[in-house]
Amino acid sequence: MSRQYTLHAARSTSIHIDYAAELNGQQLAAVTAQPGPQLIIAGAGSGKTRTLTYRVAYLLENGIDPRNILLLTFTNKAARQMLDRVANLLPIDASGLWGGTFHSVGNRMLRRHGSALGYNSGFTIMDREDQKDLINTVVASAGIDPKEIRFPKGDVLAEIFSFVVNTETALEELLAEKFPYFLPLLEKITDVHGRYEKKKKATNSVDFDDLLEKTLSMLQKHENIASFYRRQFQFILVDEYQDTNKIQADLIDLLAREHRNIMVVGDDAQSIYSWRGANFQNILEFPKRYPDAKVFKIEMNYRSVPEILEVANAAIAANVDQFQKNLQPTRESAAAKPAVVALNDGSEQAQFIAQRILELRDEDVDLNEIAVLYRAHYHALELQLELSRRGIPYQITSGVRFFEQAHIKDVISFIRFVANPRDEVAFKRMVKLLPGIGNRSAENLWNAWDKSLNERGEITSFSERLLAMSVNAKSKKHWTQLAQTLDEIAPGGQPNPPSEMITSVVEAIYDDYAKVNFTNYELRREDLNQLAAFARQFKDVNEFLSQLALISNVDAEAAPNQTADKEAVNLSTVHQAKGLEFHTVFVIWLTDGMFPSSRSIDTREALEEERRLFYVAITRAKDELYLTYPHMRLTGGYGDVFQRPSRFLREIPNKLVEDWQVQRG
């Protein structure tokens, strides 16, 4: 006969931390909550990380062995920072605590038990470049020649397979939703996916998504392994829970199934990553999955002045799917309310922001403490030009500068070439976009082109010369298309207006190229449409190209100084700015179709995510907030278009903001 014997955790004989003194009442309630499922709704600037850190310390002080705690974060840096803070709070060795990202924890489990799935502990984790190369190898082995058909490149296939894993969506359903132009290739893509899975197994390799998918599969199929980890992780804490995807939520639920001591911390109002697989329903339905869960709200905001918080609370109020909360200020009132500023067009908007930035600098606001936030990268196009003209240093938090992006430079290469047929760099960049033309072919083609220039002088027809050149059979069709397109954009050798050229190049050649080469095709197409619109202000191709060069050269000249004094205005998409804060924030292009984006207006779910994005933008501001919108917008082919102010602006009561009337001096 066996006997059950329970080991009880040793209780700490002395409490080292005065939690009531260190935390506000809302934080204290969450930190000292009894075991069981808990959902902490932590508003923007409310001390979410502090709450989570003190919860870990509280568990350790109350005798919980560090080895029985699992802390899941979205970056390893965040986990290290929290554990460092815990170490500073308590004289306890917490080195046994498992803390890190979902992927790092999955890696540890697979290294220990991956043999259950047929992997040995020395498996290779492929990075995206390795993954792309392996997929391209598999595509070749499947008898698919990407030079003959426009088949998605390795990068794009990797993105498709990643979505399938993280959203637990069938491949056909995913293609229909996100990549409809690849649906005719469903059978071939399915075959490649199967071959890719077999190839990974054969080479004892996993990709980044496998660290989640294979770990969950292992725990679902092998109860002995799942039981081992359920016994080990008696307390599970999850940061940024609103950003988890379906597979991450399933993994957490499986590990917490028996003890149910799970604390998830997040802010449903800052759930803005559905486009990369995050599932908003995870945080919204947590109380349904755990009916006995206690919900704590932390609403005391330490970041922003009351006037900004009032606007933030009003901005999110219209959302139906949310946990109701109301950010409460801890700071004193400011001298001015947030400003709503109407401008004539994008150019005037840029001038206003540049001038106001210089005024703020004169008021001793550091440029680093100023941010301009926007919904999409191309919204900052006119602003980058204006800041460059005025010598105001800036840095792009959301990636490379607009005119330095690959797809922008690709399309510009056509324009550079017809403006200057001796531009070797532009010629080679342009022809390498065609299937079957690599570096060597491009060099041979350039030599042939250069020879024709020297022999025949002035160009009256690009196609006449290009079609006389020798290209390989696989490239012949696309070479003919290139020749015809160059004649279309520069009839008789004379370039059309820049905007018309951009539209022609995109429609004739580049759109097909972008679909198979870029995972974010739709965003890049938006960039190119806006580039065509921007170019409408230039009738002369050389003036247009000179302005682009001006931006690049001014930025290059400013870079050494910028590095020296570390002072620059921050330009960023709202997505990239999440988690950051600034003295002054400008939110620009607040018009319907721009922010919210035109793609999000059709469904309530999409529109509510856009409203959450607007809320995130507002809550980045500590002291001053400017909400700007132009009345008119240039488009590539339809002239000036009248813009309606964003519906989000109309939802904010007039009494909460100050209307600025901008006049020309």
Which of 26, 38, 49, 322 is catalytic? The answer is 49
Predicted pLDDT of residue 423: 86
Which of 200, 325, 620, 647 is catalytic? The answer is 620
H-helix segments, 536-621: 541-565, 574-577, 604-618
Predicted pLDDT of residue 557: 39
Q: Residue 53 belongs to what H/E stretch?
A: helix 48-61
> Is 465 annotated as catalytic?
no
Length of the chain measured in residues:
665
Compute the distance between CA of residue 268 and CA of residue 609 in angstroms, rounded to an integer. Answer: 10
Predicted pLDDT of residue 563: 39
List of residues 6+ apart from 183 with CB closer than 8 A: 172, 175, 176
> Is 423 annotated as catalytic?
no
Pair 65, 96: CB distance under 8 Å: yes
Name the residue with tokens 């970056």: 75
> Is 48 annotated as catalytic?
yes
Which of 26, 248, 270, 573 is catalytic? The answer is 270
pLDDT block averages, 10 residues each, the chain of length 665 = 65 68 93 95 90 91 91 83 82 82 90 87 82 88 75 90 89 91 92 92 87 93 94 94 93 94 94 86 94 95 95 96 91 90 93 96 95 91 89 80 84 90 88 87 88 76 86 84 91 89 92 89 88 85 80 46 65 92 97 91 92 96 97 72 93 95 82
What six digits make up the tokens of 348? 């005037």
Which of 155, 207, 210, 239 is catalytic? The answer is 239
Which of 26, 27, 38, 48 is catalytic? The answer is 48
> Is 49 annotated as catalytic?
yes
Phi, psi at residue 136, to the nearest 5°? -60, -35
> Is 557 annotated as catalytic?
no
Compute the distance between CA of residue 250 and CA of residue 620 in angstroms, rounded to an integer. Answer: 31
Convert 396-416 to b/e letters by CB count within 10 Å (16 or more is b): bebeebbbebebbebbbbbbb
Which of 207, 209, 210, 240 is catalytic? The answer is 240
Predicted pLDDT of residue 636: 59
